[in-house]
Each structure stands twice: as C-alpha cells, then as structure tokens.
Amino acid sequence: MTTLQRKPVDPTAHLSEEDIEALGRELDAIRANVMDSRGERDAAYIRKVIEVQRTLELGSRAVLLFSLFPPAWLAGTAGLSLAKILENMEIGHNVMHGQWDWMRDPKIHSTTWEWDNVAPAEMWKHSHNELHHTYTNVIGRDNDLGYGIMRVDEDQPWSPFYLAQPLWNLVNACIFQYGIAAYDLEVGKYLKGRKDAAEFRTQAKKVLRKVRRHFVRDYVVHPLLSGPAAVTTVAANLTANLARNLWTHSVIMCGHFPEGVETFEKTSIEGETRGEWYLRQMLGAANISGGPLLHILTGNLSYQIEHHLFPDMPSNRYQEISPKIQDLFERYGLRYVSGPLPRQVASAWAKVIRLSLPNDALERLGLAGRDAADAPLAAVPSAA
C-alpha cells in the first residue's frame, strides 16, 4: 500500500492504512444513506429550478426588446445574467454529472442534456467527469488544474511563459466558455502532435457548430427581434455572457486553487484504494461559505469538497451532508478548507500571481516556504 506523503510535512502522516479504509467506509455509508433516500422532494427541487431559470430567461429576453430604455436594459441584463449562471451551474453542470438520472426523465438526463455553453456536452463530460474527477489535482493528469497553461505548484518547473499567467487567467475568465471548449478539444495535445488529427477535426466541427448557434441566437436573432433596440440588446447579451463567464471562473477557481488545497504527484495514485481516492478528494478541494442564494448560484459547488466526494449525488443534498463531512475531517485530523467568496477568490488569485514567479524570486521576496498544503504529495511506502 502507498500513502500520501509530503516533503517536509505530510498532512496524512498520522493516518494508518486502517484509518484511511475506515474513513472510506464511513463515506460510503453517508453516500448510501442519501442515494437510497432520493425521492419526490429532490425531483421537485430540480424541476422547480429549471422552471425558474427558463421563466427568468424568457422574461429577461422579453424585457430586452425595450432595451433602448436604461431601466429595461439593466433589468433584462441582470435577469439574463442570472439565468445563464443558473443554467450552467445548478442545472447543466449537475444534470450532466448524472445527478438526476435516477428520475428516468429523458428531459433531465445526462445523456440528453445540452447546456447553454459553446463546449458540447459530450466533450465536456469526458474532460470533466471522466478525467478531472478521476485525477483531481494530480499534476500532469488533471488539466482542469490550470487548464494546462498555468503553473499551479512550486514543484512544477518554471519558464518565462508563466510570467504572463495572471494575464492568461484574466483573459480566460472573460471568455471562460470558449476556454472550456478549447480545453475539451485538447488543443495543446493536438498542437504537440499527441492527438489524432481526424478526431480533432471532427470535434472542432462540433464546437464550431455550437459557437455559431450561440452567436446567431445572442447576437443576431434576439437583437433583430428588438428592432430599434438591436444594438443595446447586443450589448446586454455581451454583458450577460461576460458576467456568466467571470462568475463560473471564480467559482471553479475557488474550488481547487486557494491556499490550503493539496496538489498531488502522478505516483501518488498508483494502486490507489477507494479510501485513498476519497482522501485525495477531501484534500484537493475547497468550499465557499455563504447563504442559500450563493449556494444555488454556484451550482452548490460552494460545497466543492462534498461534490468531489460524491459527484453524482443530487446537489441539493450537499448542504445536508456537509456537517457530517466536517465531522469526519475533525475526527481524522484533516483540514476542511472553507471561506467566504471574496477571501477564496483573493487566495486563488494570489496563488496564480505568486507562482508566476520562479522559486528563487519567491525566496528573495519572502513568498516561498509554503504551509503544508502547497507542495504536491508523493507516494511512499506506508509505515503502517
């Protein structure tokens, strides 16, 4: 058996092999209890969220027909921004995780849902569900961790390219849905000759079809329907898409980038047991504290730790199990990373900026010497 060990500090060193497997059994029991109790209350929840989202979007687009008038523009833009956030976060992301497949409703199913995003659902499910959730925070395997263009740990080799990563991160935040599509396409692998050209062209055509469909809808059809208000409607749609992109980028950054979140070496997952996989999810994610509205608008990814433990659990149940998960962290001597949105966003951005510099510069500036959560965990023989 291998355990996770850090140099110089291993946050799991106090856990024996038996402890880790006992932790896994406790988490399995929490999961089973919730999954066995799914029912009409949960189904009613997701149907209500979808109804609210569609009503909000249709109402906002109707208001934007009169977007020449500033109050209508403000109201319509705000409503459309919220509708897009709801669709991407609490609906699209979670439906495509299979959280509602148990309802056997073909209209709310991971195999049929196509979200309001230029990244095709089929491609996103592969890169996100299959790769990111399998290799969470494993450097070199989980490309969600920096999307392959950022340095996310001091043990990663530095190059001058990374000096610009704060700029890349800002640009990526503004056009986030396009960044996700490019990531799903594995553009980097293709450019390095590590992706089949025919497969890349086929996938690129799918992405371009979605881009064209979204462009025509937001920047041609709805503006034309607005008549004299066409230009202001275009501005409203641009603003709503920008707001959605910035929000989703911030939420996702908060889930895996703040200080206190672990990264892992590739060797750390060799021969990984169920308990060790759970442990990696617990250490490799962070939560956002806040009220009910924040949780809904984040798609309940404010409970990122709970989501990574149980990605196919209905999102409305994460708040319910959170106290039990926090109790496990405390009893097993682990750090439950959580904080308000502004603090988590600032922490994530601070890490992006700090790691854009080489290690010797960090040492001169007094920014090196991180806490126990800042170096990748390695696999070493267990002492248990």
Residue of 162, 364, 131, 145 lying closest to 255 (CA atoms): 145
Q: Is the pLDDT of residue 379 over 50?
A: no
pLDDT mean over 157-167: 93
Distance CA 339, CA 302 (A): 10
Average pLDDT over residues 319-347: 97
For the chain, state the CA radius of gyration.
Answer: 22
CB 64, CB 234: distance < 8 Å: no
Q: What is the pLDDT of residue 4?
A: 43
Predicted pLDDT of residue 275: 95
pLDDT band at 384 (very low <50, low <70, confident <90, very high): very low
**pLDDT at position 36:** 97
Provide the pLDDT confidence category of residue 139 given band limits of 50, 70 and 90.
confident
Give the tokens for residue 345. 């966003």
Lowest mean pLDDT among 190-199, 221-230, 336-345: 190-199
β-pair partners for 138: 264
Cα dihedral sign for 321, 327, 329, 335? positive
CA 1, chain centre distance (Å) = 30
Dihedral angle of Cα 256, 261, 267, 273, to the nearest 10 degrees: -90
Question: Does the predicted TM-score (pTM) go above 0.85?
Answer: yes
Confidence grade of residue 317 (pLDDT, cut at 50, 70, 90):
very high
112-139 mean pLDDT? 93
pLDDT score for 142? 82
* pLDDT bucket at 382, cuts 50 / 70 / 90: very low
Q: What pLDDT shows up at residue 91?
A: 98
pLDDT band for position 267 (50/70/90)?
A: confident
Q: Which residues contact 313 (CB under 8 A, 6 or more apart)?
A: 31, 34, 35, 99, 306, 307, 321
User: Is 143 a residue whose pLDDT tops 50?
Assistant: yes
What local confidence, expressed as pLDDT, does residue 348 receive?
A: 94
Peptide bond just before 8 cis, omega within 30 deg:
yes
pLDDT (0 to 100) of residue 34: 98
pLDDT, residue 148, reads 65
Rounded distance between C-alpha atoms, residue 345 and residue 130, angstroms: 26
pLDDT, position 369: 55
List strand residue ranges (DSSP E) for the chain, in order. Answer: 2-5, 287-289, 338-340, 378-381
Least-confidence region, from 91-105, 130-144, 230-244, 310-324: 130-144
**pLDDT for res 370:** 52
If pLDDT is split at 50, 70 and 90, which confidence band does 265 have?
Answer: confident
Query: What average pLDDT is seen over the chain?
Result: 91
Provide the pLDDT for residue 147: 59
Q: What is the mean pLDDT of residues 132-141?
A: 88
Measured CA to CA, the distance from residue 339 to residue 290 in angstroms comes to 8
Residue 246's pLDDT is 98
Burial of 151 (0-12, 13-18, 19+ CB in 10 A): buried
pLDDT band at 378 (very low <50, low <70, confident <90, very high): very low
154 pLDDT band, cuts 50/70/90, is: confident
With 50 as the cut, is the pLDDT of residue 120 above it? Answer: yes
